[in-house]
Structure 1
């Protein structure tokens, strides 16, 4: 597996859509980085989470949970997950660790459950055995509303500072209109307790006008989610159609507009809506035209890369501007610029920060998992 270096010259095209969100500027930095292979024996890695001891847990779309012992290069299978529906975009998806993992050893995993005629995003948790080689006492804690499509499952997981679990649920593609119905989980971010019960302060907890689990709605296919404990902010990225990928700050009970407003068009070029803004609907912090198919999202909290601490990083999987790692330059909680790293090299499915302070990326298909290192000359 070759090592890659980039001069970090940014290149992005933004649509002139008349909103403040489209004024994001391309930026460059003097920091140069390269990719160092960490795992080469992996197929369709989807989500990653580091254990306190430095071991890396990750899911593979069709093969379930794997563990890479710290300092090694060959992962081991971790059996115990229930069977998944694995056609097209379906399979084993996002994962996260219990905030009290050191004591509970609980791992939370999202996956596609069901059949071609009736399937949806489900969440389970299980105890990782003391030797790390099995998931035990696996319990289902959430199942989204069923669909009959193998597209748009969402499925990133993040714990908030209060110990509640957030999860992204995709719109099911052909069911995009239901993203505007808070009584449905299609196209939503849900919030549940560790055991799957509903927090009393959820916006629709009483079920009168919305699904009790729904925290926000009007989303498309959200494959990036990050909780910033320092600012108590939940960030999310989602795929637009052809253009209009978004970075959002997720707020309680808010409507993010899909498909009533969007900065993108349908895949055949037809207009989904002529509106990019509407009263009562949130605007993105930044958006991408053309698309990058954003997947994975994290904030750099270390000093490993000069000048980048506090910035967000998102993977790009596809689209005219995809196949890159995007540095989202943040100042005082606002997006002030974007820089494309490794442009055109690999489709990136996930990005996380490791306990060593380095960024790690998982590629979309068969390439592997890499550590982002400083290149020679820094």
Structure 2
């Protein structure tokens, strides 16, 4: 990352808000915009991530291991098993995010995150590949989070490419390893920043520091499943699952600690306290907190033309909450929240802003759908 971008991201920690949970839950409701919802495609098998191809088609990952190309009208053009090395499909694990490289138009290069290993020893992996004549080729693993762990939960797996072409990959704490989110020596409960070949960028916040993994960008996370970069402000937003309550929206800044499990608004699933602290010295407060938990799964920053009144709003798709949450930001603060699509009563895995300005969603399930939100 060039120096100006690093300085901008680090400076953003000063904007982080010290809000109480009570204040976060007392935001005003906002008036609804007139919209309609269309079904673009159906019969997707636990769809996880969506990308838009330059020719107007859609690229969808299915957690069960398939990469699906859909025509612009939603019909299936190609379905293929993503032959990723050592892919592990179980519970929350499998094929996760897909990200088209900045030079995809000329190179056909893309990135795929996935869980790798077996039930007793697995991790989050990242591979680069090329899409040539709709075939996935030149598959090359470029990163494997360490250490490996048991179980099949909390992989993170979302990606974003920054203007300097480095990648930020979100990770989880492995569920049973939450204390390790504070251990800088490895990757559990972190976000990592990598070059497109999986190397450590020379300007990463902890590079060449003894006992710290050079890939670490931020730490103190539980299970980060949403990340977006705002090219207009240089801000990098993420959200993560809390335990029972305490889901967070965060403003990421290089080298900062986001608290888990030392500081959290959530409690354990048994009702026991995870920590006595909601805030802790030297750790960043969330911009926003959801209690009870909505289980945030995807996120987009709306900068399309179809909904001018939604410009600069953040949209979060929810699994347990079974709705789409719109967050209005004013001067770096979340000032209003609107809950959309609750009447669908279905788990929403991903949300993206399309090049046409529409908002696209993936539902989560064995008969999943690609949906499109348009103005009336």
2:83 corresponding residue in structure 1: 81
The 8 Å contact of residues 118 and 147 in structure 1, kept in 2 or not, is answered as yes
What is the match of residue 263 of structure 1? 265
SS in 1 for 2:157: strand
The alpha carbon displacement at 1:344 in A equals 4.8
Distance of 1:72 and 1:169 partners within structure 2: 31
Q: Which runs of 5+ in 1 are unaligned?
A: 1-16
* Equivalenced residues, count: 354
1:217-236 deviation per Cα after TM superposition (whole angstroms, max 9, x unaligned): 00001111111111111110
Higher fraction of helix: 2
Which residue of structure 2 aligns with residue 139 of structure 1?
140
Per-residue deviation, residues 238-276 of structure 1 (Å, max 9, x unmatched): 000000000001110100000001001011111111210
Is the partner of 1:103 in helix, strand or coil? Answer: helix
Aligned equivalents of 1:373, 1:233: Cα separation in 2: 27
Shift of 1:303: 2.4
Judge which range, 24-33 or 151-160, deviates more. Answer: 24-33
Residue 66 of structure 1 and its aligned partner are, at CA, apart by 1.0
Name the residue aligned to 1:335.
334
Counterparts in 2 of 1:26 and 1:84: CA distance versus 1, 3 Å: farther
Per-residue displacement from partner, 1:72-96 (whole Å, max 9, x unpaired)?
4225214443152111111000111
* Secondary structure class of the residue paired with 1:102: helix
TM-score (norm. length: structure 2): 0.91
- Do structure 1's residue 92 and structure 2's residue 91 form an aligned pair? no
Shift >4 Å, 4+ stretches: none
Distance of 2:23 and 2:186 partners within structure 1: 28
| RMSD value, Cα | 1.5
Please report how far the alpha carbon of residue 41 of structure 1 lies from its aligned counterpart in structure 2 after TM superposition. 2.0
Q: Could you say what secondary structure the match of 1:40 adopts?
A: strand
Please report how far the alpha carbon of residue 18 of structure 1 lies from its aligned counterpart in structure 2 after TM superposition.
Answer: 3.7
Q: Is the 8 A contact 2:65 2:82 kept in 1?
A: no
Q: Which residue of 2 aligns with 1:303?
A: 305
Q: Which consecutive unaligned segments of at least 5 residues does structure 2 have?
A: 1-18
Q: 1:20 to 1:163 in 2, by over 3 A?
A: farther
- State yes or no: 1:347 paired with 2:347: yes
Equivalent position of 2:238 in the other structure? 236
* Cα distance change, pair 248–323 in 1 and its aligned pair in 2 (3 A): same
Deviations 1:3-22 (CA, angstroms, capped at 9, x unpaired): xxxxxxxxxxxxxx846862
